[in-house]
Structure 1
Amino acid sequence: MADTPPVAPGLRAAGVTVELGGTPIVRDIDVSVNGGEFVGVVGPNGCGKSTLLKALYKVVTPTGGTIRLGDLDVRRARPAVVARHLAVISQFQEAGFNLTVRDMAALGRTPHLGLLEPHGAHDRRVVARALRAVGLDEDAERDIQTLSGGELQRLALARSLAQEPGFLILDEPTNHLDVRHQLQVLDIVRGLGIGVLAALHDLHLAARYCDTVYVLDHGRVVAAGAPRRVLTPALIREVYHVDCETFTDPRGNLAFAYACPAPAPAPAPAPAPASPRGDA
């Protein structure tokens, strides 16, 4: 295998519907990501962001719709085939076993190897490059049990980079990271030059990194487009139920100021019924 990364494919999903336990969670969603684009999925808790992404990377089975990654029919393809083209970084999870940093990153090569096939020179170069990209090259021999949460998330990114994917899905990957590591992870991802679809909670991050955002509410897309056009105070008020003002920060990024809506005034108490007047 050459060191040149694969051509970045686009993702096309149409009519994706997911029901869990008979309850519709994702309803007839269309998503399009061109190769090289960074596209975000935003919305309040429970709106269906993670369920949609899990359907796209074959963790849950859609009840309807089509999903194509370049020429690959994702719904029909075997997971091992999909993993050669698509990598996933999900929310931070505690490390449950002992491996070195290098060994964990090297798991990203698994989709490209045959059963019991050892790592070759190319695989070792790819893993070293991935660790260097996330700043963990000097920690390659550390036990992953000694890593902080931020380091573990960067290691998850390195493992994904070691897959040499043509497309990357981020399933709320920054929720447990401090500000510095949030920016570091998304800066690295943005610089990959491949298609990226990311579920994000933080609208500031979505506005800063995304070319396009899809806004979900109750399992449906209610708006889609460039962040400055879509993430308006009116839409944020409707979807998130908060008051919002938007402005441009000193670095030129779209930013938001939020406030809970003022509570409605309590209704005036009803007047007490008049006492009946007794006889004089």
Structure 2
Amino acid sequence: MGGWTIGIIGGSGLYALPGLEEIARHDVETPWGRPSDAILEGRIGTTRLLFLPRHGAGHRIPPSEINARANVDALKQLGATDLLAISSVGSLREELPPGRFVVVDQFIDRTVARPASFFGTGLVAHVSLADPTCPRLSASAAAAVEAAGGDAATGATYLAMEGPQFSTRAESLMYRQWGADIIGMTAMPEARLAREAELPYALVGMVTDYDCWREDEAGVVATDVVAQMHANGATARKLVQAFAKALPAERTPSPIDTVLDHALLTVPAARDPAMEEKLGAILRRLTTSPAT
């Protein structure tokens, strides 16, 4: 039992958290390079928060160049117990209009140009990702959206595309047929890496547009997206406040905290010490690992 330290990964439209009682700013070095920006540490009530703008200050990093491994590892190094990601998304469903907030529970990953794992030659890990988000964290996030005056949909499937261009109409229609509800460019491999790092993960999508699947309608219009992003950002800042204040004082353990205990891992005797050292923040909890 212990307190919460929530890593907040802010996407497009959420670059700062006004009202956060600031404690410190951290410039973190990781074995994977530098994260997107300095990490702001602060408190809301009794909850410790670590805020990281995913695209960096001023939205300077494109989706495919975000160093997701460094972002997740830096938050892990600073003691994050859970991750709440907030992202701008396009809608693939009529019932999810711009301005709606959507809590994700599944992903379809169409990214191809991004390192998707912390592990590699010298220390391999196969981690379960059947249910990639944390139900407890997701339920708290949905309640926080409502408390902030937003309208939350739940149980959505997020299609992660490479970008930075938006979809073609053919792609948008295909993704609808696949069963995707929203589309974005940043949640993968972020969610995969959070699972490998044993960090429960929830994602709130902020709908900015209808992508380009609707007949007789123009594609994504940047000016409309930016205007909706600003409106969504105001609600997002309120939801972070509500989320942090509603958490119980004590954090009970999650099964995701020990997911590596159930992973298929390189046996200890065959591991590369350099790779083990590189994975230090992730493996620190493990004193022994199952021989598999």
Pairwise TM-score range, normalised by the shorter structure: under 0.3
Q: Which has the larger radius of gyration?
A: 1
State TM-score, norm by structure 2.
0.26
State TM-score, norm by structure 1.
0.27
